[in-house]
Amino acid sequence: MRPEAVGEVLELLDVSGLEPVSVSNVEGVGRQKGHTEIFRGREYKIETRPKVRIEVLVKDPEVREGLLEKIREVVYTGHVGDGKIFVFRVESPTPAGLST
């Protein structure tokens, strides 16, 4: 997501009683394709754009769906660069010989 949206998303997670597992500064290309900058009179093409990745574990499917909708409302501007939301199933392996 765009770095300027991070504060609002973290506040939303706090209000929801959830804590992020990880907040990472990342870079990506996507459809924005980078930009050019001038440094000491020379033009440089910057291929990547700064983004932030927030990872959260949510067990309850109803809470997850509500949270996804709230995050979309916070970060969506309708412009390229809003970011993406990925949902993964996280499983814990059961040690041999133990039942769950």
Question: Residue 99 domain-assigned?
Answer: no
Tally the domains of the chain. Answer: 1
- Tell me the C-alpha distance between 96 and 90, whole Å: 19
Residue 86 lies in a domain: no
* SS3 (DSSP) at 34: coil
Residue 81 lies in a domain: no
pLDDT of 79 reads 82
pLDDT band at residue 70 under the 50/70/90 scheme: very high
Q: ∠84-1-10 over CA atoms, to 5°?
A: 115
Across the chain, mean pLDDT equals 83
Instruction: Kindly report, residue by residue over 13-54, the tens digit of the pLDDT.
Output: 999 888 888 999 988 776 666 667 777 888 877 777 788 999
Average pLDDT over residues 66-93: 86
Name the nearest CA neighbour of 68 among 9, 26, 5: 9
Query: Which range marks the domain in which residue 45 is found?
Result: 3-75
Closest CA to 28 of 71, 75, 82, 72: 82
CATH of the domain at 14: 3.30.70.120
CA separation for the pair 8, 30 (Å, rounded): 23
pLDDT bin (cut points 50, 70, 90) of residue 96 is low
